[in-house]
Amino acid sequence: MKKTKDTIYYRDKRAHNRFHYRFQWHAYLLILPAFIFVTIFVVAPLIISFVRSFFEYETGIYNKGMNYVMVLTDPEFLITFRNVFFIALILVVLMLTTSFLYANCLNSLDNKLSRFARTMIFVPFFISGIISSLMFSTIFDVSEGLIGYLYYTRGVYFDADIPGGLTHVTLAGEYVVGGGNFWPYFLIILPTWWGGFGYQALMMFAGIINIPKEYYEAASIDGASATRKMFSITLPNMKNYFVLVLVNLVTGYFQMFEIPKMMTGGGPEKYSKLFGMELMRTESPVLWLYSSVLGQAGGPDRNIAVAGAFLIMVFVTIANILVFKVFKSEKSMDS
């Protein structure tokens, strides 16, 4: 959006500039605090990180990008990507469908109930991953939570030592319920979905109410059915929102940290299987990288962790900037 500020006629370029730039020093003064803080706490660490990632941690010798090679060939790092890929895949599909359908319901109801629901589903936004993990772990608690309830009434119990996780005890013996070794994944997926659902549903809702009502009226006059309206009006107009939400979700889940740390701690230690594939843990890349600084065993060397963080940064930053640019250009085209 270009501003149409200068309606006054300027005789020459210099006079024009003099008017426009007369508050230049005020502007620099106003930006100065933000500039200093960004430099100290964001840009300086980034540059130092970049330099660090080319040096060996213990000796401080330049090692020609070996940190990047080491982190890319580290089986643990690659496995964390695979873990988070599965979790993110399930979560993205779940989140997009549930939030879109829910937003549709909210929009077509449009009464007191809908307004009440809009406020209520937003409550988890104010509860952090740590706290929601605590809440869900009391729900899943073996002795006192809902799972304990299942145990006392149905004979189903959660056992972290058995790779299956959720097992069903019957007279004939034990067998696994809940989709094989899906259980540890479920422990992460549910709190994450719970925490993000309200926000995403409201975003989708904002997208739906932004679609001009005339489209639907015209479609009704032509005798279009509700499904036809959904596929020919709502979904094409929501395309941008879907892209935005998708990128936000993928980059967000890629960096998931608090919930895996609290719910499973990156475990279970034993190999587990999902859809016939062997997965090691529920550990996410960020959780693995932070384990070096948080002083836990099993993490990478610090400079290798920095190299890994840079690889993640490249992915996330490119995705973010692309979305930002695309949306900016579309906005300016609209107006």
Partner 1 sequence: MKKENIELTKEQALLLKARAKKPFNAKRFIIRAIESFFVILGVAIILFPIFWIVVRSFAPNDYVPIQEWSFFPKNPTAENFIAVLTKPLKGGYNLVNSLFWTLIVSVASVVLGLIIMMTAAFAFARLEFRGKGVLWWYTIITMFVPGIAVNLTSVYLVDLIGLKDTVWVLILPGLAGGYGIFFFRQFFLGLPNSLEEAAMIDGCPIFQIFLKIFVPMSITPIVIIATRMFNGHWNSYLWPALTIRDNREKYAQVMQLLAAIKESEETAYVIAATMVSIIIPILLFALNQKRIVSGIAISGMK
Applying the rule CB under 8 A, the residues between 216 and 245 that interact with partner 1 are: 241, 244
Smallest distance from partner 1 to CB 289, Å? 6
Q: Give the whole-angstrom CA distance, residue 159 versus residue 169.
A: 11
Of 157, 183, 253, 310, which one interacts with partner 1 (CB under 8 A)?
310
Residues 256-285 that bind partner 1 (CB under 8 A): 257-258
Minimum CB distance to partner 1 smaller for 140 or for 272: 140
Residues 39-68 that bind partner 1 (CB under 8 A): 40-46, 48-49, 52
* Whole-angstrom Cα Rg for the chain: 26
Under 8 Å CB-to-CB from 267, ≥6 apart: which residues?
Answer: 160, 184, 281, 282, 283
Smallest distance from partner 1 to CB 277, Å? 26
Helix axes 285-293, 302-334, angle to 10 degrees: 130
Nearest 5°: phi and psi at 173? Answer: 135, -165
For CA atoms 183, 189, 193, 195, give the dihedral sign.
Answer: positive
Minimum CB distance to partner 1 smaller for 163 or for 300: 300
Minimum CB distance to partner 1 smaller for 131 or for 177: 131
| Residue 183 touching partner 1 (CB under 8 A) | no
| Residue 5 touching partner 1 (CB under 8 A) | yes
Minimum CB distance to partner 1 smaller for 15 or for 44: 44
3-state secondary structure of 168: strand
How many CB atoms neighbour CB 234 within 10 A?
19
Smallest distance from partner 1 to CB 281, Å? 18
| Residue 304 touching partner 1 (CB under 8 A) | no
Minimum CB distance to partner 1 smaller for 61 or for 294: 294
Largest CA distance in the chain: 96
